[in-house]
Amino acid sequence: MYCKYCGTYVEGESDVCQNCKSKENLNNNVFVDNTPTYTEQEKYNDRRAGLGGAIASCVMGFVGFIIAFMACIFSVVIPGIGVLFIITCITLGVISLVKGIASVQLFKANCRLKKSKPIATLVVGIHGICFAGITFFVCLYAFIFLIAGLSML
């Protein structure tokens, strides 16, 4: 049997629930929904889940984007430094892309588990993915400029 109020399984033919010490609450056919309830603070924290990683994704993507532009300039003028800038912007772009994808996956997982949705994490993570894409695109141009700069030597 299960208690009507607390949902605890009561063994045997007992008339009293040992968990809530209530009598007359026992019913053979009652199943209590034991889904977790969240406090307001827990709901607030769930909405911010993964936001730090998403912000890191966005910032690294933006910094990679700026370094990619600098790589375009240095690839023509000083090819050695241009190579270092290209490697740096590719590294930042990859990290930004990975963190952004993780943010989107976290949002999807929370939706699937019917938890509160971290919408800010999703939006900022998508921005990080976009910055990573732009970083890779500009980095491709920096590589082309590097080849042109090396051919002029």
Element (H, E) at 27: strand 26-27
| pLDDT beyond 60 at 24 | no
Select the more confidently predicted residue: 142 or 46: 142
What pLDDT does 59 receive? 95
Burial 35-61 (b: 16+ CB within 10 A, else e): eeeeeeeeeeeebebbbebbbbbbbbb
The whole-number pLDDT of residue 101 equals 94
Q: State the virtual CA torsion across 133, 125, 55, 75 in degrees, nearest 10.
A: 0
**What is the predicted pLDDT for the residue at 133?**
95
pLDDT (tens digit, 9 = 90+) per residue, 84-131? 999 999 999 999 999 999 999 998 988 888 777 888 899 999 999 999
Dihedral angle sign, alpha carbons of residues 118, 124, 128, 133: positive
Alpha helices in the chain (DSSP H): 40-47, 51-77, 79-112, 119-152
* The pair of three-digit structure tokens given for residue 5, joined into one six-digit string: 């109020």
